[in-house]
Amino acid sequence: MNPKIDERIKEEYEAKIEGKFKIYLGDELYAKGKNKWTRYFASSIIEFVITASVCSSCSTNNYYNLYTRGLSYSYTARAGNDTSTPTSPDMSDLVSKIDIAPDTQNRVLFKSAGYSEYLSRHKFQWNPGTIPAQTIGELGVYLYLTNDGWSSPAENPSFGYVSDPYDTMPISNPALRLGARISSADDDFYPINYTSEEALILEWYVTIRF
């Protein structure tokens, strides 16, 4: 085909998934950019797409009681001190985690008027004084994600996770795992000389555009 036509088709019809972030110190935007995914986030998305059954052993008499857990069934974020370690897909945690949970967190979902873009936002806020004064060089978003333990190729998989007869999960062995990392070592932002006098806010976005 004509290379120009190929390029136009690619631009017009190729779906894109992006992970972006914004960091605020109080009301001031400190940094924004793209995050790095982990293997657990990528695997969870593709397992959702491929799984055909999530509760094959459940009684049909109780089907109306079933509920499925999404990736934000359990979610949180953490800050960390590391400023020198680049992100790798195998990372399961921050390098030097400050294990202090956000004071508040919420989720919002958006779609464009033309149905060509869908966007989610997770917002995490640590109030002034919650994290003591220190250097912050990394941030991580944790979601309810697969362990990525299946062998490739997995033909006609049915990953179902059942913790009791009424809970299902269409990914394999889910748990709270690191899904995305934002790091000064990846040049995502300059290390923060955090004084604890203002709120630290992380907004994390996932966008699907086609």
What are the pLDDT digits (tens) for 88-99? 999 999 999 999
Q: Of the ranges 46-50, 124-128, 181-185, which one carries the lowest mean pLDDT score? A: 46-50
Cβ proximity of 172 and 65 under 8 Å: no
Interatomic CA distance for residues 9 and 2, integer angstroms: 11
Residue 171: partners with Cβ closer than 8 Å, 6 or more residues away:
43, 44, 47, 48, 51, 145, 146, 159, 161
pTM comes to 0.86
CA pseudo-torsion sign 98, 101, 102, 105: positive
Which residues, other chains included, contact 114 with Cβ-Cβ below 8 Å and sequence gap of 6+?
none
At 131, the pLDDT band (50, 70, 90 cuts) reads very high
Range from 95-109, 153-167, 191-205 carrying the lowest mean pLDDT: 153-167
Domain boundaries, the chain: 17-55+62-199
How many Å apart are CA 55 and CA 98, to the nearest integer? 37
Residue 177 burial (CB < 10 Å; 0-12/13-18/19+)?
A: buried
pLDDT of residue 127 exceeding 90, the answer is yes
Question: Residues 172-178: what's their mean pLDDT?
Answer: 87
